[in-house]
Amino acid sequence: FPVTIKLIRTERELNQVELSELIGVPTKTYQRWEYGDNLPIAIYRTQIAKALEVEESIIFSGELKRRSQFYPTKRELRGDTV
């Protein structure tokens, strides 16, 4: 979970503060999840998935193998060109 959530968060171009605000938890709480110190309760798992726009199973199954499994990045959603 910690590695997966960080990969998806960075792919989404969000920092820890931004994601914690989207989820509605203190940044320190989110950091503990990302560092693997604690796991979020069910309601926050749903909030994380919603904020990252991915299925909960992708985040919590540990089956993420490559970045191409992600949904579009914020940049792609905005239509920015490189």
Say how far apart CA 7 and CA 9 lie, in whole Å.
Answer: 5
Instruction: Give this prediction's pTM.
Output: 0.69
Outline where the chain has alpha helix (H). 2-11, 16-23, 27-34, 42-52, 56-60, 74-78
Say how far apart CA 55 and CA 53 lie, in whole Å.
Answer: 7
pLDDT, tens digit (0-9, with 9 covering 90-100), for 59-73 = 777 655 544 445 555
pLDDT, tens digit (0-9, with 9 covering 90-100), for 36-47 = 888 888 889 999
Residues composing the chain: 82
Say how far apart CA 59 and CA 54 lie, in whole Å.
Answer: 8
